[in-house]
Structure 1
């Protein structure tokens, strides 16, 4: 660079004036000064470039830190928004007292049911005429005609509270009532029925205390049916008191124990001295494709010497259930459940069989069962939808202990069409066929046609 500068300046000087020896020294001095200035400029530029690169690196680091802080703030804001979202939703339907929002929800449902049974008559007022109970389908008798009943017993009331205890914690509660499976007036005059407790629980942050759906049951997989449950033979269905911890998709619970036992005479006895809770572990997976749940249960089945006149005994019960709801395009979904285990009796199909049988020595023999269902729902339009479903239950009863008069298997199928003229209202028609078979081969079936109208609020 120095050589180029000298050559350029020398050429310019030579063109501007005639060459003279006296001027050579002056030109050299000018060239030296110019070269020094240029070098200083180059060094300054290099220093500025290094400073700019350092400033740019610092700016990038600061930007990345700011983005991280912004994301953390957004996540915290989303968490806080989620915490206050439910109280806001409840406030839309309720009122506020101090720091507590009190709200309500539920539905009014009318059912017109006509059914017949091939194995015997079901008496008027019997709950078997209100919804499917597989273990109570009559067998071995004369067929009935078509019996028709109207009722509004499934109508439900839900009361909720959400209390503001600061941004770091959440405190909620829920009490739920309906009028199913309760005594009261008959069909002659008043059709009055007593309310019953369905759910009653408190939630504090990740903890739940109270009566709720069993953690072993996935309510989100239940089919879209007019019958109270729909696919009852293949469904885990239990509500009971518990302590539950939830973290993300993980749920851990200690739930109320209760052992149901089949006696050598074929009867059912409830053990009154359970000591350990039923332990449940569950994980929920979800995405745009739908949701899947895997749940396991461990039980201590127990009877004492004052239950059946024996010396008492205990046995291990266990089970695994996989269930879910899968999106099949924009208008269809598939709901399913599969459950297998030993000593699960009261958890499956409204206690189709018992948890265990009692042998001649007074020892418990857990009863192995497997069951499941699948339900396909299609939306014909925004106001019209249909579901078809089927379920199955099978028990491996120790027949020498239970006799042949206990249920060996049960299954059912149904299809419906439901119309929603406006969003909160459903009007539907459903046909169901169900069958129950005993270990001795005796069987009976149930056919049901149901018309329902439901208004959710």
Structure 2
């Protein structure tokens, strides 16, 4: 291996946050073997005002307050790094960020790293932890707020075994009966997805079946569906959307809904729409709205935002975003403004 010289080259990568070109540093070991290092450093300055309690990023649920409050924070927890190992048809990938908790704002603002992805890919089989097959990651809008409108988004990483053949993906994934008796989860979640792709963009259709355990002796089956995609429109513009329906539970909305409520399966309807417009080659805006409702938990939450991003260099993107998170049934809402700067490694 050592007779081959080390060669550094830029390798393009696409992540949901930004339209800036993300590059990985590639070390070529041989014709079939290489290491790729990537990630980004991100700073966020966030201001929130209203009667929904502050969060570093909005999730599908919130905490209504009796009074209005405002809070400002500067943090870098979204910063992440990853390593990709390629040996011919065999690939390994590991990624971590710093949303693992710990630390204090009083002195050091330290934060624990956490695992995001860790998987092995051999030909058309993937094994490990990564985005659920139920997701269409290309349908995630570009936002300063981490992930953006998770209230209407499938957003879940978990252990799985996935088979891919062209546009078809089949997987068995880690089960969890949230709100029930997860100690008795012994049947994996089953997911099937088919993605149509072309010069026009992509469209995915996904279905999911699960067994949810109420207690040791009682269980319910749950089924859900999803339609999502990214459609190219005019010039570099695109329209991204997601619609989720059925007994999708923990898969949608990041803590919006439980799988089971008082022994009954929760039903959820959620959607997200985002349009990204490019003002010129580096300057662009995304206009976004997402909403989700549940039947048993009686949640009805929404989020909208509009932003402006610009690439100062190929690696450095800056942006500002304003928006609102609203809990309709609680008659509570908060507005936020967020400035972000990200350096893609």
State which of 31, 53, 58 in structure 2 corresponds to 1:132: 58
- Tell me if structure 2 keeps the 8 A contact 1:295–1:321: yes
Q: State the shift of 1:444 in Å.
A: 1.6
1:411 aligned residue? 302
- Tell me if structure 2 keeps the 8 A contact 1:407–1:436: no
- In the alignment, the residues of structure 1 paired with residue 24 and residue 101 of structure 2 have an alpha-carbon distance, to the nearest angstrom, of 35
2:338 aligned residue? 450
Q: Which runs of 5+ in 2 are unaligned?
A: 1-8, 13-22
2:278 aligned residue? 379
- In the alignment, the residues of structure 2 paired with residue 200 and residue 152 of structure 1 have an alpha-carbon distance, to the nearest angstrom, of 22
2:129 aligned residue? 211
State which of 198, 202, 205 in structure 2 corresponds to 1:291: 202
1:388 aligned residue? 287
- Over 3 Å counting, the alpha-carbon distance change for 1:449 and 1:396 in structure 2 is same
1:72 aligned residue? none
Runs (4 or more) in structure 1 with deviation over 3 Å come to 87-92, 96-100
1:95 aligned residue? 27
- Tell me if structure 2 keeps the 8 A contact 1:233–1:371: yes
Q: Does 1:260 align with 2:178?
A: yes
Q: State the shift of 1:331 in Å.
A: 2.6
2:18 aligned residue? none
2:114 aligned residue? 196
Report the 3-state secondary structure (helix = DSSP H, G, I; strand = E; otherwise coil) of the residue aligned with 1:94: strand
Cα deviation digits, residues 385-435 of structure 1 (max 9, x gap):
0010001101111xxxxxxxx442101100000011112211000001011
- In the alignment, the residues of structure 2 paired with residue 186 and residue 143 of structure 1 have an alpha-carbon distance, to the nearest angstrom, of 24
Larger radius of gyration: 1
2:78 aligned residue? 154
- Tell me if structure 2 keeps the 8 A contact 1:172–1:202: yes
- In the alignment, the residues of structure 2 paired with residue 427 and residue 338 of structure 1 have an alpha-carbon distance, to the nearest angstrom, of 30
State which of 224, 235, 239 in structure 1 corresponds to 2:157: 239
State which of 312, 323, 327 in structure 2 corresponds to 1:436: 327
Q: State the shift of 1:118 in Å.
A: 1.2
Report the 3-state secondary structure (helix = DSSP H, G, I; strand = E; otherwise coil) of the residue aligned with 1:233: helix
Q: State the shift of 1:275 in Å.
A: 1.1
Greater strand content: 2
What's the C-alpha RMSD, in Å, of the aligned pairs? 1.9
Aligned counterparts, 1:355-374, within 5 A: 355-358=259-262, 364-374=263-273
Q: Does 1:111 align with 2:44?
A: yes
2:94 aligned residue? 175
- In the alignment, the residues of structure 2 paired with residue 435 and residue 289 of structure 1 have an alpha-carbon distance, to the nearest angstrom, of 33
Cα deviation digits, residues 133-156 of structure 1 (max 9, x gap):
231x22252111x20000000001
- Tell me if structure 2 keeps the 8 A contact 1:140–1:443: no
- Tell me if structure 2 keeps the 8 A contact 1:295–1:322: yes
- Tell me if structure 2 keeps the 8 A contact 1:325–1:333: yes
Q: State the shift of 1:271 in Å.
A: 1.9
Q: Does 1:276 align with 2:187?
A: yes
- In the alignment, the residues of structure 2 paired with residue 246 and residue 92 of structure 1 have an alpha-carbon distance, to the nearest angstrom, of 25
Report the 3-state secondary structure (helix = DSSP H, G, I; strand = E; otherwise coil) of the residue aligned with 1:260: coil
- In the alignment, the residues of structure 2 paired with residue 138 and residue 443 of structure 1 have an alpha-carbon distance, to the nearest angstrom, of 12
TM-score, normalised on structure 1?
0.68
Report the 3-state secondary structure (helix = DSSP H, G, I; strand = E; otherwise coil) of the residue aligned with 2:186: coil
Report the 3-state secondary structure (helix = DSSP H, G, I; strand = E; otherwise coil) of the residue aligned with 2:112: coil
Report the 3-state secondary structure (helix = DSSP H, G, I; strand = E; otherwise coil) of the residue aligned with 1:272: helix
Report the 3-state secondary structure (helix = DSSP H, G, I; strand = E; otherwise coil) of the residue aligned with 1:449: strand
Cα deviation digits, residues 115-142 of structure 1 (max 9, x gap):
02315x54xxxxx2x100231x222521
- Tell me if structure 2 keeps the 8 A contact 1:272–1:303: no
Q: Does 1:322 align with 2:227?
A: yes
2:251 aligned residue? 347
Report the 3-state secondary structure (helix = DSSP H, G, I; strand = E; otherwise coil) of the residue aligned with 1:188: coil
- Tell me if structure 1 keeps the 8 A contact 2:135–2:154: yes
- Tell me if structure 1 keeps the 8 A contact 2:94–2:117: yes
